[in-house]
Structure formats: C-alpha cells, structure tokens
Chains A and B, each alone.
Chain A
Amino acid sequence: MGGKRHFRVWRGDESGGELQDYQVEVNEGEVVLDVIHRLQATDAPDLACRWNCKAGKCGSCSMEINGMPKLGCMTRMSTFEENETVTVTPLRTFPIIRDLVTDVSFNYEKARETPAFAPPADLAPGEYRMQQVDVERSQEFRKCIECFLCQNTCHVVRDHEENKQAFAGPRYFIRAAELDMHPLDAKTDRKEYAQAEQGLGFCNITKCCTEVCPEHIKITDNAIIPMKERVVDRRYDPLVWLGSKIFRRPMTETVGHGETSVLGAVHAQPKGGVHSHAGGSHDPHAEAEAQRGVNWHRQVPKPTVPPVDEHGRLPLTELTFDRPAAPSPFGDDVTFPMPVEHLNYAHPEQDEKKH
C-alpha cells in the first residue's frame, strides 16, 4: 500500500453541504482517522471531526464510512480495495453541526431520563458482595463506549425524527438491562419502565445495532430480547401471574391482622414481586387499598382512556403503532385477568383467617 488515495468527505453545516473530493497520501497500516488527520494538516485545516483516544476506547470518532456506521480509528485502510474511493459522511440520525460533527445531545437527554442505579439501602460502602458470574452479565453492557453507532443505525429513529421523543434507543435499553441484571440494584421495575417509558416496544429486533457495535455487545440477544420476553411474561403469562399471587399471599395475611402498615407491606415486596396494573390507579393509596382484599368502601380505580393519537383516534394499523395487534380499549394500564385483590370479590379461602 502507500501512495495517493481518493477520498470523498462531506463538508458543510446545518444549512447544507456536499461531498468534496480529496487525493490524499495513505501509508501502510493506517486507519481512516489517520487520513482525516492528514487532510486537516494539509488540504483542509478546518475540517471538523471528533476524536480522542484513537484506540477504539472512547467512542468519539463515529462516522459513516462508505455508508456503514463505524469508528474512524478502527477502520483499517487495508480493508478497502487499492483503488476504492472512500466516502466519509457524518452520522445521519443526528443533526449536523459541521462536516463530520453532529449534535448527539439526543443521547445525553435519553441518558438523563433513564433512572439511575438505586443502591441497596441496607449495605454500607465496602459491604457489597457479588459473585463474578452475576456481575458479568451487566459488565457486558458496561463495556459500552457510547459511540452511539447503535443509536445512529436504529431504524426506529434513523429516518423517523418523530419517534425520537418516545424512543430511547439501543444504548439505553442495554443500560436498563444492565441495571435490571445488576445483582444489588434496588429498583425492581426496570423492564416495565423500558416498556412503558423508553419505547422498547418500538424495537422490531432487526439486530442492526448489534451488527455495528464496535465492542461486540450482543445488544439484541442479551439485552433487548430478554427485556421484552420478561415484560411479556409478567404482563400476560397466567402461570407467572399465578406464581406471583402465591408468592405474595403471606404478606396479605400479615396485613389482614392489621399490624403492619399497609404502605409498608407494599414496599416490602421482594425483588421480582408483581406489580399490579389495577385500572389507572397509579395512586399508591389506591394500590395499597387494593391489596387489602375486599373493601366495599374503597375507591374504585377509574378506567383510563385507550391510547389515542393526536386526532383522538385509535391507531388503525400496526405500522403506526408500537406493538403488534390492536390496542386495548381499556387502556394500557389494565391487564387481564385483573389481579384478584382488585376485584370486590372475596374468595372463600381468603376469608379463612387463622385465629
């Protein structure tokens, strides 16, 4: 190798721009970022490009090379044909600032919206004990260098600006998965949160994010799919539902004796305990009330409206909707069968209190 090579680099800003042609010296063993640097030092001193470590560890020099989202520092020139033109363009999903630099603030906003690690209340610093096998699952996701190539390549937002509001993207699904699998994280609703707030349902598992990940994190297989499966399990699987009822019973009994405070009982749910989706009652008191079992005076949770679009209509097709099949007319918060405690019906067994 060596000698002049043909490069086409996108130059411009938010008002527009175009590919410019450069003939540039390339030496053996160089990567695309080296060539960009040579361009800066010679033909184009003001060519804007982010970079830091030049070793594939910081995730700054994300760009699209011949249309593929890649790190400039990890793309060896030897992977191209000798006379191949190399076209370098900025990430398409994010607004242009200048040349190869884009405004990636979308990602930092989504990072802020993702609930942080919740430390276990009963452990002081230095008392954390975890097994290597248990931390490894989360460690895979913590390898992420935040190059945002997965965010850039994801179909849900790549050409759909309108989805950015409701969709956090693969980077933040693996963050949710990481925390969900963290052995000591005290929050128990990571999956539900991913489904309800991060737009996990938008993802249709095309695995493009996994393909572009320079850290080879199995984003789809190890984070997104398990998160989706478990959310589905919890919401619809009758066996899981039944199991969770049995699991919770002793607590209901304590409450029956009127000793433990009702709120205390709710908060004392063990990790992995069920989350009720009683119609629209995100009010903790109504929830707590519901858990007491039969109470003819309790406020009946109001049903919520179904998810309608800005014209007040239900979405008609799956294409414009975030999940397969039609939405529930009872609203997103109601799942069937409804938890027994939410019904004003006393099962004979439940009434047989110990004396």
Chain B
Amino acid sequence: MTTRIERHHYDVVVIGAGGAGLRAAIEARLAGKKTAIISKSLFGKAHTVMAEGGAAAAMGNVNSRDNWQVHFRDTMRGGKFLNNFRMAELHAKESPQRIWELETYGALFDRTKDGKISQRNFGGHEYPRLAHVGDRTGLELIRTLQQKIVSLQQEDKREFGAYDARIKVFAETTITELLLDGDRVAGAFGYYRESGEFVLFEAPAVVLATGGVGRSYKVTSNSWEYTGDGHALALRAGATLINMEFLQFHPTGMVWPPSVKGILVTESVRGDGGILKNSEGKRFMFDYVPDVFRKQYAETEEEADRWYKDPDNNRRPPELLPRDEVARAINSEVKAGRGTKAGGVYLDIASRLPAEEIRRRLPSMYHQFKELADVDITKEPMEVGPTCHYVMGGVEVDPDSGAAYGTVQGLFAAGEVSGGMHGSNRLGGNSLSDLLVFGRRAGGHAARYAEQLTSRPKVSTTDVEAAVDAALAPLQRDTGESPYALQQDLQAVMGDLVGIIRRREELADALVRLAELRERVTKVSASGGRRYNPGWHLALDLRNMLVVSECTAKAALEREESRGGHTREDFPTMSSKWRQVNLVCSLDGDQVKLTHKPLPKMRAELIRLFDRTELAKYLTDEELADFDALAADAEEAGK
C-alpha cells in the first residue's frame, strides 16, 4: 500500500465538534490529557448552532419554586417514563452549574430585571426554565465553547510555546473507522476532506459526539453531517444502541417555500403566544389534549389566552403540549384534509402580538423568514409541519461516565449520539443542557480511563490497511451507482415507511427495501479525485446511514405500542409492559441484532417525587404495588 498516512498520538480523541464534543474536549484538556477534536465541518459550524429555544436548567431565576426535582419530573414525564432515570437525575441536578460555568467562559445570556440569567417557558417544562439568548442560544453555546477552547490554547501557547500543544482541532476531517486492540479502543482512522489524505489517530480513549441521524429522512432539519456516523462506529466497535425507534419529529418545521423545507420554527413562537390553525381557520389543538395531560392544560381559548399574562392562576394553552403531541395533532389535521396546499398547518403569531413585539422577541425568526422566504411573520401566518429533528436513541452508556456498554472499552458517548437520557421523547431545551452535562462527564471519564491504563492499546497494521481499502473502494468502482441517488432512495424509504406514523406492513416493507439498498451501497461508486470530493464523502457516509436506518426500522417493527417519538397506527396506546423494555441493537457480523433489556428500576426517593395517579398512567400493576409498599413504609417511618 503506497498510501501516505499521517499519524497522531493523543490521550483522548473526541469525534464531533458540537456542544457535547467541545465540552468533552475542554474537560479532557482540563484533566491534563492531550486531546484532539475532530470535526466534519469547520470549527464552530456544528449543528448545535441551530438550537434556538434555550438550555433547560432549574436555576429558579424567574420562578423560585423551580428546582432539580421538578425538572427531573418534567423530563421523565416528557420521555414517557422510558428515560434512564439516573441520566435524567444527573441532568436535572447538574445543568444549572453547567450554564453558570458558560458565563465564566464569556457567554452572554439574556437577563432578568435583577441581572440574573433570564429563563423562558417551553413545551413540557413546568416553570420558565430555558436560559436563552434571543432565539440563537445554540450559536451562543457553540461560540462560547469554541472561544473557551481558544483560550485554553492561548494558555498552552504561553506555557509550551504552541497553541496546539495539548488540544487541537482537526477541522473538516471525517472518521470512517474505530480501530481496536482486542476489546480496547486503540485509535480512529479517517481522512481530511480538504486533501483526501488519510489520517490515523492513535488514542486509548475515544469520545463519540457525532450528533444524530436525520439525513436519512426526506424532510429534516438536520445538516448533511447528521449521517449517524457515531452510532455506526459504535456498533462496529462492539457497542450497543438503545431506543433507536424513537425519533423526534419537530412539530413545526417550515413546509413552504421548498428551499427552506424542514427548517425549524422555534417552539418559543408558541411560548410567546403563537397559535396553530388549520385551513378552516380553527384553533385545533384543544381537540388533541391527551388524558394524561388534561389537568395541566386549558380547555377554552379564553383560559389559554389568560395564561400568557397570569400563568399562576390559569392552565397552559394546548399549543405548549410536548412536541410529539403537537406533531401528531398536525399530522392528523393534514391527513384529514384540513392542511395547507404544501401539507402543513398555519402557525399564527401575527394576529396575536404587535409587530414591534414580535420583532423584539423573535429577531432571528423574523429575519430568517423575511430573508429566506420573503414572508413577514408580523403580517402573515407561517406554514409549518412535522420535520425529522432529533433521535432519542443512541449509544447505550453508563449514566455516570458515558462509557459505552457492549464489549468495547475506552469508548464514550455524549449528546445526541448517546441514548437513554430522553427516553421516548426529548423536551425542548433539554438537549443543550444534555450536551453540557454529559459532554463534561464523558470527557472527564475518558481522561480518567486513559490515565489508569497500564499499557497503551496498539493499532494493528492490517486493520489500517483494511480501513484504507474500504475508504478508497468507491473511487475505484465504476458501477454508476450514484451516492446521491442512493441517498434519495434511502430517504424515501425512511420518510415514507418509517416516518412519524408507522404500521406493521410498511415497516416490514421498509426492511426489505433496506436490504436491497444495502446491496446497492456495497457497490456505490464516486467519480472524481480525493480532494474535497463531496460525492466520495457521501458514498462513505451511506453505509453508516444504512445500518442506523436498519436499527430504527427493526426496533420500530418490534415495539408494539405508541410512546413519545414512536407512533404505531396499529398499536395506538401506551403499554405499561412495553415501558419496562429497552430495545437494544448490536451487530452480529454485519447484521443488526435486536434484544430486549429491562429498564433499570428507579430509586425509591426519586419515584416518590411523583403522585400515584400520575404513575398509574405509566406503570404496571406490580410496579404500582411496589410503589404503594414504598409509600406505606415511608409513612410508617414517619410515625
């Protein structure tokens, strides 16, 4: 093999430069480890910039009744009790600290009157909880972390004479394979997009922070990078994925004009008074309040409208139901023929607030619509519909350390690529805080793991050669199988058959088609050379997209209930039996294997944060009996 391969030695390699990756890298570097950050795009362009609403953290700045217990409850409720309780607990407890820490890095959040970080209302959160900067919170977060890394590099420059001495960003670099020594991670292999040259990182610890899988869907808010790389890398390295059937479809993506199809309209449009109407002009959300939420939501338009001014004495408008409920409602309206021509519904803020106020509260929303679509949201309603937005499923990890389960050691995951934290549905605002809390944990534990190793795992030459061959293969084939056409076909299968509303026959059909696509993907060919060749890059991403899609389709077929981000038309209700089960995907040869695994049992002091009537909606009778016994014990002890 004459291919030149650049080699680097690091203690911790972080794959992904979004919020979770950068936070993990900061932590690893602070622990004194030599850290590499690998980014598919330029530094600071990660998909995190798209997050608009804010970062949820129970700081209690706006409503002092808020605390971690309330946040924990909301998160579990939002995830329909399928969340890994320990992750939800850690997240609720640690997120305020993570947000405050950002201020010491230079972040400038919007303020309350008394100078604290302002917090806003958001779907599924009981109190105003989202720290925000207008509607560009994600950008603020990524920029802040980016600038923190620069400041660490400046420290290293003073100390060692080189910016890159202890933490380096490899921009526009894609990892195609993790390399193992036995069961231990030994390194990561990839290529520079710019030159097409190969690069090998030898490192005992790897943190996956590659984000989600949305590019496998036709209508998605996700950028080209979201091809499920981390999910696939983890599977191939012997790790497991959980909850892959749960995908979040953001209820309000733009459906018109076509150039911006899929772009999200932040939920804060609804938090600030925006309402959903169908083509008949009816405010339809009142018809879609599920029984479990009946108590918390207003029944009349009058009450709902009073809530914006006086939230303590009125119930919330149904537009603020959790995302999946809103997405399902819109889907039903459109299917019933009450949608717009482009297949959406109207989101109206124009008739609700004065133009000046809209521009002040939603500056980048206003600006985005004006510039991209020539639509003035202060004058006319927007056309919105469900968009593939976030994958709840991901690498099965140890809640405290972020270490991947399965057979592999030295692999960690944080952010969207990890699974468990959000259960079957993520609350808006919980992802930005998730990135920070678990990014920090994964980075710290990866550093600790690298620290305690007595011998460094070695990369084997044959593995590297195999990785080189696999990477070059599409360029050497001349089958005429275009990566762009393949991606379109994959998106059609996933969008049409494994979309927001699912059926047995369609899912089974999807699996057949995915198997056909798998054949074609092995034959994909790319024209052109190795220098910045997007066709080649896509050809290499396709096998990741494919295996992750198979996980989703298989798990979706298996889970015979509807819960959060998984809706089965043939099993429309939640089943308390299914709540006790996580579906775990692993790789057997190159085939996806599915196993059932019981959910960890919530600790007594946590489950007692809920009232029995609420638990009754989710738990089986045996579980409820356990809960009653607990309550009785506590009462006994109280006497």
Contacts and interface: CB of A to CB of B under 8 A. Distances in A.
Contacts of A8: none
B258 A49 contact: no
B374 interface: yes
Contacts of B531: 13, 48, 97-98
Contacts of A28: 257-258
A129 B116 contact: yes
Interface string B430-441: 000000000000
Interface in A55-78: 55-60, 73-74, 76, 78
Interface string B261-303: 0010000000000000000000000000000000000000000
A116 B259 contact: no
A182 B147 CA distance: 15
B535 A112 contact: no
A3 interface: no
B393 to A, nearest CB: 23
B150 interface: yes
Given A46-B534, A125-B100, A131-B115, A53 B223 contact: yes
Contacts of B148: 116
Contact of A117 (B101, B151, B485): B151
B534 A47 contact: yes
A119 interface: yes
A41 B140 contact: no
A285 interface: no
A142 B371 contact: no
A104 B42 contact: yes
A76 B372 contact: yes
Given A117-B147, A126-B100, A52 B194 contact: no
B50 A53 contact: yes
Interface in B106-129: 106, 108-111, 114-116, 118
A48 B533 contact: yes
A129 B143 contact: no
Contacts of A48: 531-534
- The dominant DSSP class at the A interface is loop
Contacts of A179: 106
Contacts of A60: 41-42, 45
Contacts of A143: 136, 139, 364
A112 B169 CA distance: 12
A326 to B, nearest CB: 35
Interface stretch (A132-140, A261-269, A335-343): A132-140
A29 B115 contact: no
Nearest to A127: B100
A13 B533 CA distance: 12
A284 to B, nearest CB: 16
Nearest to B105: A117
A52 B110 contact: no
Interface in A102-119: 103-104, 108, 111-112, 114-117, 119
Contacts of B223: 51-54, 58
Contacts of B154: 112, 115-116
B106 A29 contact: no
B528 A116 contact: no
A52 B47 contact: yes
Interface in A144-175: 144-146
A290 interface: no
Contacts of B100: 125-126, 128
A130 interface: yes
Interface in B423-455: none
Given A50-B42, A54-B223, A145-B139, A129 B114 contact: yes
A112 to B, nearest CB: 6
Contacts of A31: 259-260, 372
B105 A40 contact: no
A112 B41 CA distance: 18
A125 B97 contact: yes
A49 B147 contact: no
A52 B259 contact: no
Contacts of A116: 106, 147-148, 150-151, 154
A38 to B, nearest CB: 10
Contact of B484 (A45, A51, A56, A99): A45
A135 to B, nearest CB: 5
Contacts of A57: 49-50, 136, 139, 364, 368
A27 interface: yes
B395 interface: no
B526 interface: yes
A101 interface: yes
B629 interface: no
Given A74-B371, A108-B43, A125-B101, A52 B257 contact: no
A117 B152 CA distance: 11
Given A76-B374, A112-B153, A142-B140, A58 B49 contact: yes
B224 interface: yes
A192 interface: no
A211 interface: no
Contact of A182 (B59, B104, B108, B118): B108
Given A50-B42, A56-B372, A146-B44, A45 B527 contact: yes
Nearest to A147: B45
A189 interface: no
B133 interface: yes
B527 A119 contact: no
A37 to B, nearest CB: 9
**Among B45, B147, B224, residue most surrounded by chain A Cβ atoms (within 10 Å):** B45
Given A46-B529, A130-B108, 19 more contacts: A28-B258, A29-B257, A45-B534, A46-B534, A48-B531, A48-B532, A53-B47, A55-B50, A56-B371, A57-B368, A58-B50, A76-B374, A112-B157, A125-B103, A128-B103, A130-B115, A132-B111, A135-B108, A214-B371
8 contacts: A52-B224, A53-B49, A112-B157, A116-B150, A138-B108, A143-B139, A145-B49, A216-B367
Task: Across the A-B interface, give the 10 residue pairs with the lowest CB-CB distance, nearest first.
Answer: A29-B257, A46-B528, A117-B106, A116-B151, A129-B115, A125-B100, A45-B535, A48-B532, A126-B100, A41-B484
